[in-house]
Structure 1
C-alpha cells in the first residue's frame, strides 16, 4: 500500500485516506474513544475478514496494514473494511466514510491524477536534491512552487469530494 495520503476533515478531526481508498483506522477511532484492536478481536469481525478474504481471493491479513510512525502511523484498512469499521464507531460517520471512499475510487480522475502527478514531482525533486549538493540551491527555489502545486490539487480534490458528498 504505497499511495499518497489525502487528509479530510470530519467534525474538526483529521481523517486520512490514501488514493487507493484505504483508511487510517487508528486515527479515526481516536475521537470516538475506541481502538482498532478491540474491533479486530470481535468474532463477527474475524468472520467478516475471513469471508472477505475468500471473496477477494486473498489472505485476510493483506486487508490490514500496520505502519509505524507518528505521522500517519497506525492500522490501515482496505476500502471494503473501512465502512464496516466506521459503522462500529458511529453510523453517521460510516455514511460519510462511504461517500469519501466512493469519491476517491470513482471520482474525477483529472483532479486525482493532477494531485498524484504533483505529489510525484515533489517527491522526485526531493530525492534529486538529496543526491546533489548543487541541486540544493535550485531546490530552495523550486520547493515552494512544487509544494503550492501539491496543496492546490489537494484542495481541488478535497473540494470535489466534499461537493460530491
Structure 2
C-alpha cells in the first residue's frame, strides 16, 4: 500500500488515502486528538459497518450476534473488544503495520468516521474521496504509465550493457514524462509533493 498512498493536506496536517479511497484513520485521528478504536468499539459503529458490509457484499455481522451485543451494552466485560473484532471481520476495516500502517477504513466508512472526528474534516474528506474515485482518472493513468515506462527501461538497462548505453539517452525524457504527469496529478488532486 506504500506506493499507492496519496497524501493530502487538511489544515496543515497530512491525511493519507489509498488510490482506491481508503482512509488512514489512525494518523488523522491522532492529529485531531482521537483514536479510531474508540469509534470502532461503539455499538452504533458496528451496526453501521455491518449494514454497509451487507449492502456492498462484504462479510456482515450475524444479526443474532449484533442483537446480543446491543442487549449487553458496551459496559459488559469483553464487549468492546468483540465489537472491534467483528468490525474488522467484515473486511471494511484493515489494520497494517509499517510506515503506512495503522487502521484503514473503506471509503464508505471514511465519511461516517470523519463526521465523528470533526464536521469540517468530514466535508473535506467527502470531497477528496470523490476526487480520488471519480476525478481525473486519465491523469493518474498517464502517471502510472510514465512510472512503469521509467522502471521498465531502468530494469532493461541494468540487464545488459547495450541497454545501459541507450538508457543514458532515454532516461532524461522518461524522467521528464514522470515529472510532468506527477505535476498533473498533483494539480488535479491538490496533492503535496511526496
TM-score interval, smaller chain: 0.7 to 0.9
How many correspondences in the alignment? 159
Q: Is 1:118 aligned to 2:146, yes or no?
A: yes
Q: TM-score, structure 2 length as denominator? A: 0.67
Partner residue of 1:10? Answer: 10
- Is the radius of gyration larger for structure 1 or structure 2? 2
TM-score, normalised to structure 1, is: 0.78
In structure 1, list runs of 5 or more residues that go unmatched: none
In the superposition, relative to structure 1, how do residues 36 and 112 fare at CA in structure 2: closer, same or farther (>3 Å)? same
In the other structure, the counterpart of 1:74 is 102
Give the secondary structure class of the aligned counterpart of 1:37. helix
Match of 1:62 in 2: 91
1:4–1:116 contact (8 Å) kept in structure 2:
no
- For 2:55 and 2:107, the matched residues in 1 are separated by 14
Q: 1:4 to 1:67 in 2, by over 3 A?
A: same
Task: Please list, as runs of the form range in 1=range in 2, the aligned pairs for 1:73-92 lying within 5 A after superposition.
Answer: 73-92=101-120
Q: What is the correspondence of 1:1-165 to structure 2 with a 5 Å cutoff?
A: 4-60=4-60, 61-70=90-99, 72-121=100-149, 128=155, 132=159, 149-162=177-190
- Tell me the secondary structure at the aligned position of residue 30 of structure 1: helix
Q: Whole-Å Cα distance in 2 between the matches of residues 143 and 74 of structure 1?
A: 36
How far apart are residue 112 of structure 1 and its match?
Answer: 1.7
Q: Deviations over 1:73-101 (max 9, x none)?
A: 11111110111111111110110010011
